[in-house]
Amino acid sequence: MRLVLPAVLAAGLPLWLTGCTLTTEGGAVHAERRQLLLVSAQELDQAAAQGYAKLRADAAKKGALNAEPALTRRVRAIAANIVAWFIIVTTGTVLFPRGIHADSAGRAAQALAPVAGHYASALFAIGLFGASLLAAFVLPLTAAYAVTEAFGLERGIDRTWAEAPAFNAIYTFVIFFGALFVLVPKAPLVTIMVLSQAVNGMLLPFLLIFMMIIVNDCRIMGRFVNGRIYNTLGWGTVTVVIGLTVTLLGMQALGVK
C-alpha cells in the first residue's frame, strides 16, 4: 500500500502539470472523451492579437481593407455613442431599482456594494479619478481648439506661447478654473455636473441646425453634400431633440419630476 500512492502520484503528475484531464480510461470504446486545457489570459491575448494582425494583412493583400478615413471616423463615432447609450441604460438599471438618488459620489458608490462590498467606495473613487484625469486633458483641449479654430487663430499643442498665445491661454485657463471651482467648500458637484449637461442639451438643437445648414451647402461640402436620406435622418434628429428640450423646460417650469 505504501508503494501505491507514490505510483499514482507519479502517473498523474504529468496530467496535472499540463492541465489536461481524461474522462475515460484508455481503450474504452464508444465512450465520451473530453480534455480540459488550461491556457493563461496572456497567451489568449497574444493569440488574438496575432490572429487580428494576420487578418488585417490578408485583407490588405486582397485590397479588401477599408482605408477611407471618413468611414473610419463614422464607425468610431457610432461605436462611441452605442457605448455611451449602454452606460446610461446600465447606470439607470442599477441605481433606480435600489432607490438610490445619486446626489453625491458616496450614494452613487452604494450601487457597487453588491459587487465590491466594503471596497465599493474605493472602487468608485478610483474610477472617478481616472475619468477626471481623462477629462482634465481632453475638455480643455477641445475648448481651446474649438475657439481658436472658429476665429482662425494659430493653434496646436506643439505651439509655444509666442506662436499660439490664445490657444495656450484658453487651455491653461480652463484647467485652472475647473480645478479651483471644484475646490470650493461644500460645492454641490453632482448638481453642477447635471446642470452642465442640461445646458449642453438645451444648446444642442441650435448647434444641430447650423450643422445641417452647413452640410447642405454645396459651396462648403462640395460632392459630400447631404443627400435625401441623410437629410431625413438629420432633420428628424433635430426635431426629436428640440421636442425633448422643450419638454424638459416645460417639466422644469411646471415642477413636474
Beta-carbon neighbour count of residue 205 at 10 Å? 19
Q: In the prediction, which pLDDT does 192 show?
A: 81
3-state DSSP call for residue 158? coil
Q: In this predicted structure, what is the pLDDT of residue 233?
A: 92
Q: How far apart (Å, rounded) are the C-alpha atoms in residues 133 and 136?
A: 5
Q: Using the CB atoms, write b or e for 63-83: b if 16+ within 10 Å.
A: eeeeeeeeeeeeeeeeeeeee
Is residue 5 within 8 Å of 23, Cβ to Cβ?
A: no
Contacting residues for 22 by C-beta, under 8 A, at least 6 apart: 15, 33, 35
**For residue 170, what pLDDT is reported?**
92
* Rounded CA separation 179/136 (Å): 9
| Overall average pLDDT of the 45-69 stretch | 76
- pLDDT tens digits for range 11-54: 444 444 444 444 444 444 544 555 545 555 567 777 888 887 88
- Across all residues in the chain, what is the average pLDDT? 76
pLDDT at 105: 67
Between CA 220 and CA 212 the distance in angstroms is 12
What is the reported pTM? 0.50
The answer to which of 8-17, 49-58, 195-204 has the lowest mean pLDDT is: 8-17
pLDDT higher than 80, residue 174: yes
What is the structure's pLDDT at 213? 93
**DSSP secondary structure letters along 14-74:** HHHHHT---SS-TT-SS----------HHHHHHHHHHHHHHHHHHHHHHT-S---HHHHHH
pLDDT bracket for residue 194 (50, 70, 90): confident
Q: What is the pLDDT of residue 42?
A: 64
Q: How confident is the model at residue 146 (pLDDT cuts 50, 70, 90)?
A: confident
Q: Which of 36-45, 110-119, 131-140, 245-254 has the lowest mean pLDDT?
A: 36-45
In the chain, the percentage of residues whose pLDDT exceeds 90 is: 12
CA triple 19-21-22, angle to 5 deg = 155
100 or 212: whose pLDDT is higher?
212
Question: Which has more confidence, 227 or 62?
Answer: 227
What is the Cα–Cα distance from 95 to 126, expressed in whole angstroms? 19
The 10 Å Cβ neighbour count of residue 194 is 13
Q: Does the pLDDT value for residue 159 go beyond 60?
A: yes
Which of 205 and 71 is assigned the larger pLDDT? 205
Give the pLDDT band of residue 126 (cuts 50, 70, 90).
confident
